Structure 1
Amino acid sequence: MGQFFDSIPEDLILWIRKQEVFWVATAPLSPDGHVNVSSKGVKGTFHVVDGNRVWYQDLSGSGIETISHLRENGRITILFNAFEGGPKIARLFGKGVSYEFGTPEYDQYIPTSERLPGSRAVIVIDVHKVGTSCGWGVPLYKFVSHRPTLNSWASKFEAKDLAIPPPASPEELQNGGKIADRGMKRFWRLFNAQSIDGLDGLLVANVTPKRAESGDWKASSEKVDLKQLMGVHKEKQVNLKTARSVVDVGRMNLQLLIGILIGMMLHAFLARVGYFGLHVRQISNSFL
């Protein structure tokens, strides 16, 4: 049976800190608006302050739904699932607020040394209700590793931003300074300005003159052992090669069959042409 609490129990806090992935659910006030669910899984981004406050580092992506919804109404739910060990589901219901990159509040939560590439905001949630349930329907999965792709991609974009000279005048500073054509701030302006329902997205991070001075992400982020992953998926690769071999053999057999059929049709055609020519000559000779 499900249980509800007014704050996160201590044993649940310990369990939450061991999880590798969580989900965030928000929605606009409009009945026609789109309810959003986002998965989050970069290690070290989720933090528990105490039983009634949590926060996470919001990394860049092609959407801005969570921040837009929080600015409008503040409602948010965080979901955790147990994929290993005993079954469990935990939901954190609360009111959230976002502090964008370039604000003093952001710096209080995320110092430069702990900032991940592409970090655009910190999402702070005041939890007023916690729900747990059995989770018997959740399948078992074995955790392999976090993906390095997002950090790697964001690092390249932020490197473009750092290559641009800082603002040279107060006017340029007020307008956010120059931005790189393929930099992160350009990406924020293009893809993170509004939600899919037209609600405001980023308002500060995309125009702030503050520069992303985070160091090389590889110093603190996990790397994927490609050799290990190749070993994990070796059987799948072998099966794929076998399947391709079967397809190739089948294709060769089909080509051979088509060739035989074409040869038979051509032979029959030539035979009929030869018979017709002989018949014409016989008729012609009868008139001579």
Structure 2
Amino acid sequence: MFFTASAAPSGHVNVSPRSTDMFRVLGDNAVMYLDRTGSGNETAAHLKADGRLTIMFCAVAGPPLIMRLYGRGRVIHRASDEFATRLRAHFEGIAPLGARQMVHLDFDLVQTSCGYGVPLFEYQEERPQMDAWARAKGVEGIEDYWREKNQVSLDGLPTCLFE
């Protein structure tokens, strides 16, 4: 699990957990993740409005360590050629049902710090609810959900999901 943090120049700050199985390292200063459907789409709205993005990893086993990647992010829209190219290159051409977009981060600062305050956990398994929800909705149901819940942020900023 990792966390993304984003904000527009005003309004709410967003922090979201993400699954590392969708995370990819692209180079020395670039990473991306395949973003699955959520109850909101704050990160996309904030990247459109401001572009700042921080990704944070916390060690929950082994030595205590936190790592943050600070930089500028952008959304790669599902209908774009770039999405299709990256899907083939990094995910064997297969998007899980409910894959909404990709988020790319060019980072210019990496910071590590102690993770003394992070508790120890043991991984058990991925939660099945995301896949079950997506299967129950189906492709059309997911797109309807995006139109209803994912087009504007909590602060009314556009996410540009259907650009």
TM-score (structure 2 length as normaliser): 0.93
Greater relative contact order (Cα < 8 A, sep 6+): 2
Equivalent position to 1:92, from 69, 81, 84: 69
Matches within 5 A, 1:274-285: none
2:40 is aligned with 1:63: yes
Where does structure 1 differ by over 6 angstroms across 4 or more consecutive aligned residues?
A: none
Deviations 1:134-153 (A, max 9, x none): 11111111111111210221
Query: Residue 38 of structure 1 corresponds to which residue in structure 2?
Result: 16
2:104 is aligned with 1:124: yes
Q: 1:155, CA displacement in angstroms?
A: 2.4
Distance, in Å, in 1 between the alignment partners of 2:13 and 2:100 is 21
- The secondary structure found in structure 1 opposite 2:124 is coil
Of all paired residues, the percent bearing the same amino acid is 39
Equivalent position to 1:157, from 137, 149, 161: 137
Q: Contact (CA 8 Å) 1:81, 1:88: kept in 2 or not?
A: yes
Larger % of strand: which? 2
2:151 is aligned with 1:203: no
Matches within 5 A, 1:1-288: 21-30=1-10, 33-41=11-19, 43-111=20-88, 113-159=93-139, 161=140, 183-204=141-162
Q: Contact (CA 8 Å) 1:103, 1:204: kept in 2 or not?
A: no
- The secondary structure found in structure 1 opposite 2:93 is helix
**CA RMSD for the aligned pairs?**
1.4
**Greater C-alpha Rg:** 1
Unaligned runs of 5+ in 2: none
Q: 1:103, CA displacement in angstroms?
A: 1.4
Query: Residue 273 of structure 1 corresponds to which residue in structure 2?
Result: none
Unaligned runs of 5+ in 1: 1-20, 162-182, 206-288
Larger % of helix: which? 1
Q: 1:203, CA displacement in angstroms?
A: 3.5
Deviations 1:152-207 (A, max 9, x none): 21123235x2xxxxxxxxxxxxxxxxxxxxx11100000001001010024327xx
- The secondary structure found in structure 1 opposite 2:21 is coil
